[in-house]
Amino acid sequence: MVQVFIPSQLTSYTEGASRLAAEGASIAQVLDDLDRRFPGLKFRVIDEQDRIRRHMRIFRNGDRAQDIGLAVNEADEVLIFGALSGG
C-alpha cells in the first residue's frame, strides 16, 4: 500500500483523514483507489483531461510529479498539496 498525505482542504472528502493507504502501481491508480472509497476526491485534484489541476501539486517521495502516470510502489509516499490563496 502506498501512503498518501491529503491536504486539509480535501479532508472533508476523506472523513477527516489526512493520511491514507491506497493501492496502485501509478499515481493515477492510487487516485482511482482513493476515489472509489472517497467519491469526489480525484476530481478535486485531477481535471477532465487527466491532468493535475493548476492549483494542485503532487509529490512522490519529495519529487514533484508532472504526470499521474508516474509509477509508484509500496515503499513510496505520495503527497498532495493545494495552493493557498487569499487577499
pLDDT tens-digit profile, the chain (87 residues): 999 999 999 999 999 999 999 999 999 999 999 999 999 999 999 999 999 999 999 999 999 999 999 999 999 999 999 876 655
CATH code, domain with 21: 3.10.20.30
Q: Is the pTM of this model over 0.85?
A: yes
User: Does a structural domain hold residue 50?
Assistant: yes
User: Does a structural domain hold residue 45?
Assistant: yes
User: Does a structural domain hold residue 39?
Assistant: yes
User: Does a structural domain hold residue 78?
Assistant: yes
Domain hosting residue 70, numbered range: 2-82
Instruction: Show the cell assigned to 39.
Output: 467519491
User: Does a structural domain hold residue 87?
Assistant: no
Q: How many domains does the chain have?
A: 1
Q: Please, what sign has the CA dihedral across residues 47, 52, 53, 57?
A: positive
Place of cell 476523506: 14
Which of 52, 61, 55 is closest to 79 using CA atoms?
61
